[in-house]
């Protein structure tokens, strides 16, 4: 008899039979050697037959890597789609906590007696810590898998978030934001997890959807935190200071709940528990193990990190500054400025996925050059839109151009990670970590530019020119080679397609 494996359709195993009842010595003596031989042969044949059956997943998949060749958004079946949904939801919650301070910046500034420069330094601290976390987490996840790494980061970020209400000065604000910023490294786990579960041909789309929906946290937190603040201050016993100090318990608790879900509901990879390297590609270097030095010494990694600094790094910087920009330039209330700023992040609902889909479509037509040129086009347009946004004289025009700019900046993020899985398949976690850290390095640099310039509108114009130049630079510098794909089968393929070999899950 067969029973499903831990994946809800995984390896089929034989159900042990109960021990036979005690037999008399006379009956045992009557057993013939030929009967024993027939029984052994039958048992062996049954075992081989069951062991040779293919893995039964809800998605079509590659029989050699067990990674899915399709995705079904409305499905939560293990292991592929459940991992996908856990990846983006955990990153979304992490993103929400990471930028939970930004929409409350005006209230924090007022009650603590801070300057705009103090808030900018806190913004720099929040993204600078993520740089180091992403550099470290990528190679670590290559060895322990995405699930444990993701859960650790979520718990680590929850601790300082719970204590955010105790901040008394700019030093405390910078320290707390720096510690909470470590949770931004969950992006690495999000992208690495999806890469382990899905084939490269759909990697651009899947990674873009997961990353984009996770980035929704940047818009969600703008609306969520000002909503909590408004709810707190609606009480006659709670003033502005009480309102923001008691607003951080909700995102902190969400981080803990996300960590529990990741640990107990997810699988590291189609095989079950992570045993490196899972994401291998059969070539002449099959025996070569993953190593962080291979990632650090790869010029393509740094080329993509620079590109990501000008798209995701730009999004991080805008998330940190846009509410304050609307609050001061157009004289809006904290709640109104936060709600308008949330539109920028909420565009991730489809924009980043759009960039990944464009990259996959270009790949189907022109292979890797298609991915490269589509990305360069998105980057250059992003720069132009940012320059135009910086010159908008009134609120409606500024909102419209912010949304258009958001479309291209987030699409460029998706197209970047349409290229990442091809850079070094054996070190996918490390590559995700290094490229992701490039985004945070960019956010640090853009924050320093704003500190030097002082005027937000001028700062946005300068950054738009930089983005345009980096987009053009990607044409000669991105030289990632194509990877020949292997044959793929549907989930109902015959057992003969495996050549009789046993495929076992690491349970």
Phi first, then psi, for residue 19 (nearest 5°) are: -65, 140
Contacts 24+ apart (CB under 8 A), 386-392: 386/314, 386/460, 386/461, 386/463, 386/464, 386/467, 387/460, 387/461, 387/464, 387/465, 387/468, 388/464, 389/460, 389/464, 390/457, 390/458, 390/459, 390/460, 390/461, 390/464, 391/457, 391/461
The CA distance from 253 to 93, in Å, is 10
Angle at 179 between CA 177 and CA 183, to 5 degrees: 100
Q: Which pLDDT does position 56 carry in this prediction?
A: 75
Q: Which pLDDT does position 274 carry in this prediction?
A: 75
The CA distance from 167 to 110, in Å, is 13
Over residues 169-210, the pLDDT tens digits come to 999 999 999 999 999 999 999 989 998 899 888 877 888 899
Q: Which pLDDT does position 117 carry in this prediction?
A: 92
- In the structure, what pLDDT confidence band is assigned to residue 305 with cuts at 50, 70 and 90? very high
Cα–Cα nearest to 323, from 98, 97, 102, 95: 102
Question: Contact, 347 vs 219, CB < 8 A?
Answer: yes
Residue 276 has pLDDT above 80, yes or no: no
H/E element holding 67?
A: none
Which residues are CB-contacts of 494 (< 8 A; sequence separation ≥ 6)? 54
Q: Which pLDDT does position 3 carry in this prediction?
A: 35
Please state, in angstroms and as integers, the Cα–Cα distance from residue 232 to each residue in 226, 241, 243, 342, following that order. Answer: 10, 10, 5, 20
Q: Which pLDDT does position 502 carry in this prediction?
A: 30
Encoded tokens for 28: 């045992």
Which residues are CB-contacts of 346 (< 8 A; sequence separation ≥ 6)? 216, 219, 220
The mean pLDDT value for 323-335 works out to 91
SS3 (DSSP) at 473: helix
SS3 (DSSP) at 68: strand
User: For residue 2, what are the β-bridge partners?
Assistant: 14
For every residue of 8-32, DSSP letters joined together read SS---EEPPPPPPPP--HHHHHT--
Cα–Cα nearest to 159, from 236, 255, 240, 75: 255
User: For residue 506, what are the β-bridge partners?
Assistant: 272
The CA distance from 202 to 359, in Å, is 10
Residue 218 has pLDDT above 70, yes or no: yes
Cα–Cα nearest to 356, from 416, 316, 434: 416
Q: Which pLDDT does position 11 carry in this prediction?
A: 38
Of the listed ranges 231-235, 282-286, 358-362, the one predicted with least confidence = 282-286
The CA distance from 322 to 482, in Å, is 39
Cα–Cα nearest to 186, from 151, 228, 224, 221: 151
The CA distance from 351 to 118, in Å, is 32
- In the structure, what pLDDT confidence band is assigned to residue 32 with cuts at 50, 70 and 90? very low
Angle at 320 between CA 319 and CA 326, to 5 degrees: 80
Over residues 387-424, the pLDDT tens digits come to 999 999 999 999 999 999 999 999 999 999 889 988 98
105: Cα separation from own chain's centroid:
26
Residue 355 has pLDDT above 50, yes or no: yes
Region label for 391, one of left (φ > 0), alpha (ψ between -120 and 50) or beta (otherwise): alpha
The CA distance from 262 to 148, in Å, is 8
Residue 285 has pLDDT above 80, yes or no: no
The CA distance from 311 to 377, in Å, is 12
Cα–Cα nearest to 99, from 122, 79, 81, 117: 122
Provide, rounded to the nearest whole percent, the portion of the chain with pLDDT above 90.
Answer: 60
Phi first, then psi, for residue 417 (nearest 5°) are: -80, 5
Tell me the chain's radius of gyration from C-alpha atoms: 26
Cα–Cα nearest to 440, from 474, 407, 413: 413
**Which one is predicted more confidently, 262 or 12?**
262
Provide, rounded to the nearest whole percent, the portion of the chain with pLDDT above 70.
Answer: 81
Encoded tokens for 94: 């992490």
Of the listed ranges 82-96, 150-164, 209-223, 267-281, the one predicted with least confidence = 267-281
Over residues 112-123, the pLDDT tens digits come to 999 989 999 999
Which residues are CB-contacts of 444 (< 8 A; sequence separation ≥ 6)? 124, 127, 128, 131, 313
Over residues 129-177, the pLDDT tens digits come to 999 998 888 888 888 889 999 999 999 999 999 999 999 999 999 999 9
The CA distance from 254 to 224, in Å, is 12
The CA distance from 264 to 147, in Å, is 9
Question: Contact, 165 vs 213, CB < 8 A?
Answer: no
For residue 425, whether the previous peptide bond is cis, meaning omega lies within 30 degrees of 0, is no
The mean pLDDT value for 18-37 works out to 45
Residue 63 has pLDDT above 50, yes or no: yes
SS3 (DSSP) at 288: coil
The mean pLDDT value for 212-230 works out to 92
Residue 1 has pLDDT above 50, yes or no: no
The mean pLDDT value for 53-70 works out to 82
Please state, in angstroms and as integers, the Cα–Cα distance from residue 384 to each residue in 68, 354, 377, 381, 469, following that order. Answer: 38, 19, 11, 5, 10
Encoded tokens for 395: 């609120």
The mean pLDDT value for 269-293 works out to 62
The mean pLDDT value for 423-450 works out to 89
């Amino acid at each position: 008899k067969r029973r499903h494996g831990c994946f809800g359709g995984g390896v089929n195993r034989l159900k042990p039979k109960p021990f036979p009842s005690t037999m008399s010595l006379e009956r045992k003596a009557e057993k013939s050697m030929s009967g024993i031989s027939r029984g052994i042969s039958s048992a062996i044949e049954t075992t081989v037959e069951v062991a040779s059956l293919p893995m039964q997943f809800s998605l079509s998949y590659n029989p050699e890597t067990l990674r899915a060749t399709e995705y079904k958004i409305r499905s939560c079946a293990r292991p592929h789609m459940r991992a996908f949904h856990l990846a983006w939801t955990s990153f979304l919650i992490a993103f929400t906590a990471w930028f939970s301070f930004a929409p409350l910046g005006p209230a924090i500034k007022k009650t603590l007696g801070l300057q705009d420069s103090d808030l900018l330094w806190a913004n720099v601290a929040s993204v600078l810590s993520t740089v180091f976390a992403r550099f470290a987490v990528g190679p670590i996840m290559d060895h322990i898998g995405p699930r444990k790494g993701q859960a650790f980061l979520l718990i680590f970020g929850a601790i300082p978030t719970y204590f955010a209400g105790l901040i008394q000065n700019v030093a405390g604000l910078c320290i707390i934001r720096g510690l909470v910023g470590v949770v931004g490294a969950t992006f690495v786990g999000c992208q690495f997890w999806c890469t382990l579960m899905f084939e490269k041909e759909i990697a651009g789309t899947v990674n873009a959807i997961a990353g984009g929906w996770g980035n929704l946290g940047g818009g969600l937190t703008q609306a969520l935190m000002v909503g909590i603040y408004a709810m707190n201050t609606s009480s006659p016993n709670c003033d502005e200071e009480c309102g923001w100090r008691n607003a951080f318990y909700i995102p902190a608790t969400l981080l803990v709940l996300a960590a529990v879900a990741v640990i107990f509901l997810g699988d590291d990879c189609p095989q079950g528990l992570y045993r490196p390297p899972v994401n291998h590609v059969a070539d002449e270097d099959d025996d070569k193990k993953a190593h962080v030095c291979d990632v650090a010494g790869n010029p393509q990694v740094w080329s993509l990190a620079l590109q990501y600094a000008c798209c995701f790094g730009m999004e991080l910087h805008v998330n940190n500054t846009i509410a304050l920009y609307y609050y001061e330039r157009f004289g809006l209330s904290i709640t109104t400025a936060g709600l308008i700023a949330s539109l920028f992040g909420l565009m991730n609902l489809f924009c980043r996925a759009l960039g990944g889909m464009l990259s996959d479509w270009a790949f189907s037509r022109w292979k890797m050059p298609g991915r490269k040129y589509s990305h360069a086009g998105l980057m250059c347009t992003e720069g132009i839109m940012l320059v135009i946004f910086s010159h908008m004289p009134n609120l409606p025009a500024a909102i419209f151009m912010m949304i258009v700019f958001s479309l291209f900046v987030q699409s460029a993020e998706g197209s970047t990670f349409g290229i990442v899985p091809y850079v070094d398949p054996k070190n996918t976690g490390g590559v995700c970590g290094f490229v992701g850290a490039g985004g945070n390095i960019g956010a640090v640099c853009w924050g320093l530019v704003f500190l030097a310039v002082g005027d937000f509108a001028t700062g946005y114009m300068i950054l738009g020119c930089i983005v345009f130049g980096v987009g053009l630079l990607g044409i000669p510098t991105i030289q990632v080679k194509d990877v020949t794909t292997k044959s793929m089968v549907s989930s109902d393929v015959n057992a003969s397609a495996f050549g009789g070999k046993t495929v076992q899950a690491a349970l």
